[in-house]
A and B are shown apart, each in its own frame.
Chain A
């Protein structure tokens, strides 16, 4: 229902064409079979950078296009529809958001690197199996940094670091003098062990361990209240973008299911003529449209730096979590037995959606936060 700006419409159309031609689900299956370290295709990453997708939220002065989060959400949706594996949310959204908010010095150092695809940067924040309800609260972090003469000494463990394996840099969160601090850490360093973590979606994910990791002073991005503000913004952006990817997944499985309903014959007729299935398909369609509007509204709020951006992003993530579950489950059920086979792609979408549901907080996490926000 959304009316896109002309620029965004063009971006959407070109991304759709490009990914359908060059990065369809078959490309992901190929990557999966090759079991590469990166779990994404470097040449595809290069092309995506050339298309400008890595710099969508960065200012033009630092190599970006300043199209904004709404535009980035359109790309994320298409990545979802095609299961395209690329370090988009990690680097182009969360790392870029952190650098853009951290000021000109950080932007000067990292903006163009990110926008041109020369640097993959992953956020290493989660330490527990579930994302924390209040992740900005320094007390939830076991990772600590101690100031030294030369810089900092960092110890801790991190997990669920999306795109963190063989990344160029990790943005590691830790407590410093009892406050939240963000560090931009080179990965080729002693005392930093990064292990690959193979999740059900077969994407790039890592765990990190560091014990007395020595960092130069320049690795500190930001500390204290400003670190909380910046991390909050990055998490909100990440959530809204992940929600957009989940909407893409839901749209794709719904479209595939609709095709199937309109061709599969049983009892001598196409099963899409049965009212029971028509109503399920129509309800799914309504939920997709509803969620798409909420996600778009959250992304617009991020672009407008609106006060309610965090609230909307969390609501969008919660709603998209529900939608992704509903859409992937309905798609398998309405396909019947064939939907359970690995030959069909539905399972790949279901797995990817399940990982995205957990990433940056699931439905329950955000529902709890939203209730607290309403004082209940």
Chain B
């Protein structure tokens, strides 16, 4: 107990000394620090904050110190998070390296791979993207065709990925590639890491119904990938992909980004007005909002229970599908309500001075929530098979 109190005091002191004042304000999306070779820091403070936190290993507090992490135990991680929250400290670094590749390497990588790649992720030096979906492999992800032909000491990778978030900004990619053409569907896939500046890699951003997006198409034309860049052995890619997808679904389902934003009820009473009894001047919308706020309370409770479950050392496994399904469906309801409440005002796409308006774009963007990271239908199928043990 004394150690913990001491740790809390030390963390609090250090954060106060080292977190720049400008890094103690709410962070707009365009000021997130993603790191990477080409990253344009929005300020010197942002760079300083990243470097200071990385030096302590606190960009990835749970990872072992030898891989650039903080080596903190569960209780210490909680304290660090609390103390950062207490001064409104911004997250110093967000990335697919931290959220996705790192956990996969920790689980499946060789010691040499961990020592090489993890510190680069922790310091924000290298920014990663994820090469999973292909034009003909969406829900049926294991049917990917991007081929890695064995050329002795390297694979020659040719094919196309789609929905690659930030492919045009990433330095490296972790990628599912079919390296064993004669093996069965799920057994022929390997998990390869390679540099996006390699000869033969090109990317093209995708415009969505909501406007610009972070998604890209990514093309590989005989890209040389050294054989030591394979994680977990040949044909092990699907096992790693499944592990990572569970991780991704936990993140999507539990994402604050999904659930941030305005209080729908406050928005409704301000926009639509209330009668002399304080009732919303639209009884049909009122009834729909009732269902929404009850579902929202239930989801908040469920999310808190889930976090507690994981803190107690349990793995969610296939149940990440439950969180992903419920969380994304709820966010779509929220966005629908915000549009209904907003009326004409929510329809404004852009102003004369070319300023874009977010409300209608967020509504449209939310349509993808029940598709990306595995569709709602795939989530239900996973739950039916893995949790309810229903037959194929």
Contact = CB atoms under 8 A, between A and B. Distances in A.
Given A2-B309, A318-B294, A286 B326 contact: yes
A294 interface: yes
Interface in B289-317: 289-291, 293-295, 297-299, 301-302, 304-306, 308-309, 312, 314
Contact of A1 (B286, B302, B384, B391): B302
B367 interface: no
Contacts of A283: 380
A286 B383 contact: yes
B212 to A, nearest CB: 33
B390 A272 contact: yes
Given A285-B383, A367-B287, A375 B278 contact: yes
Given A281-B390, A293-B302, A315-B298, A376 B380 contact: no
A3 to B, nearest CB: 5
B292 to A, nearest CB: 10
Given A261-B390, A375-B269, A376-B269, A282 B383 contact: yes
Interface residues on A, range: 35 or more
A202 to B, nearest CB: 30
A367 B291 contact: yes
B278 A376 contact: yes
Given A278-B380, A297-B304, A370 B325 contact: no
Contact of B265 (A270, A281, A322, A375): A375
Contacts of A370: 290, 293-294
Contact of A279 (B287, B381, B387): B381
B305 A319 contact: no
Given A278-B384, A285-B388, A291 B312 contact: no
A372 interface: yes
A30 interface: no
Nearest to B311: A3
Contacts of A282: 379-381, 383-384, 387-388
B21 interface: no
Contacts of A367: 287, 290-291, 294
Contact of B290 (A270, A296, A368): A368
B274 interface: yes
A258 B391 CA distance: 11
A376 B299 contact: no
A289 B297 contact: no
Contact of B302 (A281, A294, A368, A375): A294
Contacts of B391: 262, 270, 272-273
A272 B295 CA distance: 28
A91 B250 CA distance: 42
A296 B305 CA distance: 9
A376 B283 CA distance: 10
Nearest to B381: A278
Contacts of A2: 305, 308-309
Contacts of A297: 301, 304-305
A290 B278 contact: no
Interface in A267-309: 270, 272-273, 275, 278-279, 281-283, 285-286, 289-291, 293-294, 296-297
B357 interface: no
Contacts of A154: none
A151 to B, nearest CB: 39
Contacts of A262: 389-391
A375 B274 contact: yes
Nearest to B308: A3
B278 A275 contact: no
**Interface-centre pick from A279, A281, A290, A370 (highest chain B CB count, 10 A):** A290
Contacts of B326: 286, 290
A371 interface: yes
Contacts of B269: 375-376
A1 B315 CA distance: 11
Interface in B265-297: 265-266, 268-269, 274, 278-280, 286-287, 289-291, 293-295, 297
Interface in A111-130: none
Nearest to A283: B380
B279 A376 contact: yes
**Interface-centre pick from A261, A278, A281, A296 (highest chain B CB count, 10 A):** A278
A312 interface: yes
B185 interface: no
B203 to A, nearest CB: 35
A279 B305 contact: no
B392 A376 contact: no
Contacts of B392: 273
A17 B117 CA distance: 52
B319 interface: yes
A279 B377 contact: yes
A281 B290 contact: no
B322 interface: yes
A367 B377 CA distance: 29
**Interface-centre pick from B269, B291, B319, B383 (highest chain A CB count, 10 A):** B383
9 closest A-B pairs (Cβ-Cβ)? A278-B384, A367-B290, A293-B302, A297-B301, A282-B383, A374-B265, A282-B380, A294-B298, A279-B380
9 contacts: A2-B309, A278-B384, A282-B379, A282-B388, A294-B298, A294-B302, A319-B295, A370-B290, A375-B265
Interface of A: 1-3, 258, 261-262, 270, 272-273, 275, 278-279, 281-283, 285-286, 289-291, 293-294, 296-297, 312, 315, 318-319, 322, 367-368, 370-372, 374-376
Given A3-B309, A315-B294, 13 more contacts: A1-B309, A278-B384, A281-B390, A290-B299, A291-B298, A293-B301, A312-B301, A370-B293, A371-B279, A371-B293, A372-B279, A374-B266, A375-B274
Interface of B: 265-266, 268-269, 274, 278-280, 286-287, 289-291, 293-295, 297-299, 301-302, 304-306, 308-309, 312, 314, 319, 322, 325-326, 377, 379-381, 383-385, 387-392
